[in-house]
Structure 1
Amino acid sequence: MKRMGKTLRTLLAGACGAALALAGTAPQAHAAPPRPPRLSWEAGDSGTDARFRGLAAVGRTTAWLAGTKGTVLLTRDGGRTWRDVSPPGAAGLEFRDVEAFDARHAVVLAIGEGEASRILRTDDGGTTWTETFRNTDPKAFYDCVTFFDRRHGIALGDPVDGRFRVLATGDGGRSWRVLPAAGMPAALPGEAAFAASGQCLVSAGPRDAWIATGGATTSRVLHSADRGRTWTATGTPVPAGDPARGVFALAFRDRAHGLAVGGNYRAGAPSPHAAAVTGDSGAHWTEAARPPAAYRSGVAWLPHSRTTALAVGPTGSDVSTDGGRHWHRFDTGSYDTVDCAPGACWAAGEKGRVARLATGPGSPHAQDGSSWR
């Protein structure tokens, strides 16, 4: 977010279609969208007032949170209790992303100019942490991190000398190297990523990754099919043209089918047309027929579902049951990020807010017989 300016970073620190069913099974354009499921968030007590923009769902009972004041929390009992596993001496860091492999192994990313951008790893559930990367380039500002598997991952930084910067690891985040910039398209004037939910950089499968951008005249999604070595850029219908507008979050359920959400993060600002879908790895994006009614900073597919997804933001949460074509609000609470794993979906945000998804009759669990809840 460096090139978005200090106003954007300050506000974020204080405050991120075609149906995607399998070919031949998508509803006709004139068909009514499926009935929204009955969903609600079951709020938990995090025991802190930190703002959480980093969230990693591991399973039915386990999830990690990362947020302001160097805070990292871990639950192993479905959110009934949260254990403070913050790295020692990290109170001055702003954690914006966390990627977890299980209840013991996780990587967190801190944002900021220069040495404020750091990556830390734990192998014992947060009892001890090792700093594995500290940015020494004053022009660099890192935003998000993602992993393809337990060994291979990449981290995203805003443009340096006109191109987005990408770090890579091949040992689970124990060491990092800057990838050559030759495979990265030139950034547009004013273009950057939003460290709003840990979803400005996402991956699916062993090699594919995507970057969400805003701030320039056009919002774009960049796609790599080789773990970040080369990228292609595609414009999206999500409005940009302002440092506060663009695509804030992405989610891919496989290497082809993805969702994009965003808008204008300024409080009270309208955010029309702020959702889009793709069925070809991001080569083309189609505007949602009924996008969320306001800015959304996080998005996630429900496990085992080809059509149902969640989006969250400061003014509420929405669900889509037709692969992102139509969105319906089901909650008005403030959340910044959302993530799902087999067994549970979680959301987190300001003032220590954290919640686990609950369903009622007509839920995706009842519709498709999956065991995600």
Structure 2
Amino acid sequence: MPLKTSYLLLLLSCLLNLSARCQTIQILSAGTKTSLRGLSAVDDQTIWVSGSAGTVGKSTDGGQNWQWMNVQGFEKTDFRDIEAFDAQTAIVMGVASPAYILKTTDGGQTWKKLYENRDTSMFMDAMDFFDAQNGMVIGDPLQGKVFIAKTQDAGNTWQTLSDKEQPTAATGEAFFASSGTNIRMFSKNGFVFASGGKKSSLFMPGLKKDLPLIQGKETTGANSIAIKGKKILIVMGGDFMTKDATTDNCFVSTNGGMTFAAPLVGPHGYRSCVEYLKGKNWIACGLNGVDYSTDEGKNWSWISKESFHVCRKAKKGNAVYFAGGGGRIGKLILN
């Protein structure tokens, strides 16, 4: 390798490492038995989380203080995803046995049941909203068809897609309820979501494509997808049984999901969530830590070894929050 080229690569590596050292994670809450996988940041101050044992939490001061609640009548429900709209309004998704969608409009004091499914095979995995009115949930396949339900009235009513509209899943293909981020809506009717298991695929309206992520086992495949505009997509996952493995756990598309390429330096383990921040900056988290990219996902730096399930940027603001096992909640600090 020519000396000049070697020097430039070394300089690039140093710059990336310097950038990585500028980000740290501040732990805001921890020390409980609750597993938190639902996270929604309305703005820099208003954050909602949800998780096991019917748990929902809310902070209105940037995570310094929390109001914790166990939703009455749903104390055994695992709330794997939550979508919040302000300090008073939030929608929470309970995955199974049975599956529920609930809504509060009074800050969590009371909850109204909006949807219930008692099918013994039902398992809802993730939920996303394009705006305050339009949202979607996806669930594991029923009779070989991906479960999809939509709302156009702020979650007050939900319509299940017809059998003809629901995509077909391969044998052993399903979805992970690991972070609520394997579905993203980019318009009222536009969406992209990613599957895992023995088969890992990318789904968009009228399109299903194979993904190059590791797959073949029930524990492998895509866990999360994030989008920038309509062209740049980053999909992440791996094998959650081997949290430190880095093989085929991240791929980047710059043409709307038509083709994918592996990063030059990938995330440093299984990752359950990836989130677009701003500019060329992205963040991802998993069981063995947090990775940060400043170059559109081409290179990832391991900035923390704190374990988290989900990371989300404030919808109206710049704050980035994390949630995970043991009631752990964190915040990204830019030094």
TM norm. shorter chain > 0.5: yes
Q: 1:209-260 CA deviation, whole Å, 9 max, x = no partner?
A: 11111112x4211113xxxxxx311112211011000010111122222211
Hey, what does 1:106 align to over in structure 2?
A: 90
- Alignment partners' CA distance in 2, 1:255 and 1:85: 37
Gaps of 5+ in 1: 1-28, 225-230, 361-373
Aligned equivalent of 1:317: 290
Q: Which residue matches 2:204?
A: 223
Match for residue 263 of structure 1 among 232, 235, 238: 238
Superimposed CA distance per residue, residues 250-281 of structure 1 (whole angstroms, 9 cap, x where no aligned partner): 11122222211100000456241200111232
Trace 1:222-301 onto structure 2 (pairs within 5 A): 222-224=203-205, 231-268=206-243, 270-301=245-276
Counterparts of 1:273 and 1:162 in 2: how far apart (Å)? Answer: 26
Q: For 1:112 and 1:90, locate their aligned partners in 2 and report how far apart those are by CA, in whole Å.
A: 12
Match for residue 78 of structure 1 among 62, 65, 73 = 62
Could you tell me which residue of structure 2 aligns to residue 65 of structure 1? 49
Which secondary structure state, in structure 2, belongs to the residue aligned with residue 206 of structure 1?
Answer: coil
Matched-pair contact (CA < 8 Å) for 1:238–1:287: no
Bigger relative contact order (CA 8 A; separation at least 6) = 1
Matching residue's letter, 1:221:
L
Distance 1:269 1:39, change over 3 A: closer
Confirm or deny: 8 A CA contact 1:336 1:348 kept in the other structure.
yes
Following TM superposition, where does structure 1 have runs of at least 4 consecutive aligned residues deviating by more than 6 angstroms?
none
Question: Deviation string for 1:145-185 (max 9, x for gaps)?
Answer: 11111111111011111110101111111111211131333
Aligned partners of 1:86, 1:250: CA distance in 2, in Å?
A: 29
Q: Which whole-Å CA distance do the structure 2 matches of 1:284 and 1:184 have between them?
A: 24
How high is the TM-score relative to the length of structure 2? 0.91
Tell me by how many angstroms 1:191 deviates. Answer: 0.1
Indicate conservation of the 8 Å contact 2:148/2:166, yes or no: no
State the SS of the aligned residue for 1:251: strand
Instruction: Report the Cα offset of residue 46 of structure 1.
Output: 5.6
Partner SS for 1:351: helix
Q: Does 1:306 align with 2:288?
A: no
Q: Which residue of 2 aligns with 1:140?
A: 122
Give the counterpart letter for 1:78 in structure 2: G
Query: Over the residues paired in the alignment, what is the CA RMSD in angstroms?
Result: 2.0
Residue by residue over 1:277-298, the C-alpha shift from the partner in whole angstroms, topping out at 9 and shown as x without a partner, is 1123222222222111210101
Which ranges of structure 2 fall in alignment gaps of 5 or more residues?
1-8
Q: Please state whether the residue corresponding to 1:54 is helix, strand or coil.
A: strand
Q: Which has the higher strand share?
A: 2
Identity of counterpart residues, as a percentage? 30
TM-score by length of 1: 0.82
Distance, in Å, in 1 between the alignment partners of 2:259 and 2:130 is: 23
* Alpha-carbon contact 2:24-2:334 (below 8 Å) kept: yes
Separation in structure 1 between the aligned mates of residue 293 and residue 52 of structure 2, nearest angstrom: 30
Moved more, 267-276 or 96-105: 267-276
Q: How far apart, CA to CA, are the structure 2 residues paired with 1:246 and 1:274?
A: 8
Q: Name the residue aligned to 2:188.
A: 206
Paired residues for 1:166-185 under 5 Å: 166-185=148-167
Note if contact 1:96-1:110 (Cα within 8 Å) is conserved in structure 2: yes
